[in-house]
Amino acid sequence: MRIDGFRKDKAVWTLISVLIFIFFFMFIVYPIFSILKSSIYENGAFTLENFRRFFGESYYSSTLINSLKIAVVVALCSLALGIPLAYFNTMYVLKGSTAIQIITILCSMSAPFVGAYSWILMFGRSGAITKFLSDVFGFKMPNIYGFAGIVIVMTTKLFPLVYLYVCGAIKNIDNSLLEASESMGVVGVKRFWKITFQLCVPSVLAVTMMVFIRALADYGTPALIGEGYRTFSVEIYKQYMGEGGNSHGFASAISVVAIAITAVFFFAQRYFANKHSFKMNALHPIQKKKAKGFYNVFIHVVSYALVAFSFLPQVYLVYCSFRKTTPSGQSFIEGYSLNNYRLFFARMGESVWNTLLLGGFTLIVTISIAVLISYLIVRLPSKLNNTIDTLSMLPYVIPGSVVGIALVISYSTRPLVLTGTFIIMVIAISIRRMPYTIRSSVATLQQIPITVEEAAESLGTTRGRTFLRITIPMMSNGIISGAILSWITILTELSTSIILYSSNTITLTLATYNFVSRGNYGCAAASASILTFFTALSLVLFFRISKTKDLSM
């Protein structure tokens, strides 16, 4: 009787593993395979023509160099801004440190192209501040389009990530380590470099990688503000959409190159991170000190300036959304109204509903699979489950637009046609979100002592029941806060959905992007503000539930 129950239990878990494996095979492995195939197989014959063309013609290969340049410079700039801000806000008493924390999180969560759009409104050729400066002072604003613009906009969006990660790492440092260093005569900048920073290296490596990958793969920012500066994520999209009159094969080839490069950086990061791994937990966390005199003024000014710098674009958009526009929505005029919102709801009102529906479904799919997988990985390791673990990490190194293209290539022909459907959007976005959600579920689960579950089992409950009645409730806090973060990233997802959406599945972010690219700035400001509102609301919920001021993605 007991043996039977045990066997049945085991069978159920194996079945779950197999189902998840099939799901991953269909929507991760097969699409990657398809894209590879489509890049080297054209008209029924093997060819390297696509790769030859990409690397041979500098018109194309330069996009790759450009993207790498941007990713490297953005990563460096983000570190240069994020680390000092984190240091100031963890080591010293800053007035309004909670506000700093919340605003930086909000900034890190906004859709990247929204920042680009706002920068154009402010500092672009006919931007408000550009005009103001040239009218009043005769000062000519430097050109913000191209490389500089992309770097600035991405940095404002991504340095908050560095800030949040480094804050988390510094909070894990035990004060006695700093005191030990001080007792041996190492203080000040030297101590920061030799101890504090070194102890943050694992986090810094991880977040640098994250910033790098995001900068490399971002589509919206270079598309809006890049102008002549061409990056490969934009190129993939163009090729795919046939703007250059070209085939899926060439877009696939660029995608394969993109995956390869990201993977190389990912493994390099993993290698260094493993070499630098050590355990820390702070018995006595660092106590914030009051800085004195000039230094105190300095750290306040720097911190506020940084936060204002990254928050300004969002504030300006909200302000713009209430301004009157010309009937076409092309430019803003004197006076204020709610007209932008009225127009937005008339034309794209369903996008709000779509967003909530899509977000909700994606969330359910992501969370359920991620929780099951984390349980399989942590509690029931096996060959199959380890394979699932590895597969689930693949989407991390695949740029969003590539995920989209891969799915389209794989599922636009019979027997399974999914393109244009709601389902393919749900699958695509949940696949992209999977690596993050699984990591955080695994971390949550690892903190739950296994003895609690063993106790339940010793009392006669099956594994499955224990999982539902004990494990999940104990994980629930971690799950819910993870879910809210996923929810926000789903809200602001652009690069995958722009390839997969149809008129029936347009989301708020896509609507904003469409308004921007069509030049309807009034409606764009309104929908961007609604997006910001949803993001902020979700964050408030997150802080309520998780009861912390920290978060990690």
Answer for the pair 161, 181: CB distance below 8 angstroms, yes or no.
Answer: no
CB of 180 to another protein, least distance (A): 4
CB of 284 to another protein, least distance (A): 8
Q: Which is nearer to another protein, 277 or 390 (CB)?
A: 277
Q: Which is nearer to another protein, 178 or 256 (CB)?
A: 178
Q: Which is nearer to another protein, 271 or 533 (CB)?
A: 271
Q: Sort strands 323-325 and 45-46 into parallel, antiparallel or unpaired.
A: unpaired
Q: Which helix (H) or strand (E) holds 324?
A: strand 323-325
Mark 138-158 as b/e (b = at least 16 C-beta within 10 Å). Answer: eeebeebbbbebbbbbbbbbb
Residues that bind another protein (CB under 8 A): 174, 176-177, 179-187, 190, 194-195, 198-199, 201, 276, 278-280, 283
CB of 90 to another protein, least distance (A): 18
CA distance 91 to 176: 14
CB of 379 to another protein, least distance (A): 24
CB of 105 to another protein, least distance (A): 28
Answer for the pair 102, 539: CB distance below 8 angstroms, yes or no.
Answer: yes
Q: Which long-range contacts (CB under 8 A, 24 or more apart) does 443-446 make?
A: 443/478, 444/374, 444/475, 444/477, 444/478, 444/479, 444/482, 445/374, 445/375, 445/378, 445/379, 445/471, 445/475, 446/378
CB of 101 to another protein, least distance (A): 25
Q: Which is nearer to another protein, 194 or 469 (CB)?
A: 194
Cα 269 off chain centre by: 18
Angle at 280 between CA 387 and CA 377, to 5 degrees: 15
No. of helices (H) and no. of strands (E), the chain: 25, 4
Q: Which is nearer to another protein, 166 or 253 (CB)?
A: 166
Q: Which is nearer to another protein, 278 or 294 (CB)?
A: 278
Answer for the pair 371, 382: CB distance below 8 angstroms, yes or no.
Answer: no
CB of 176 to another protein, least distance (A): 4
DSSP helix/strand/coil, 474: helix
Q: Which is nearer to another protein, 140 or 279 (CB)?
A: 279
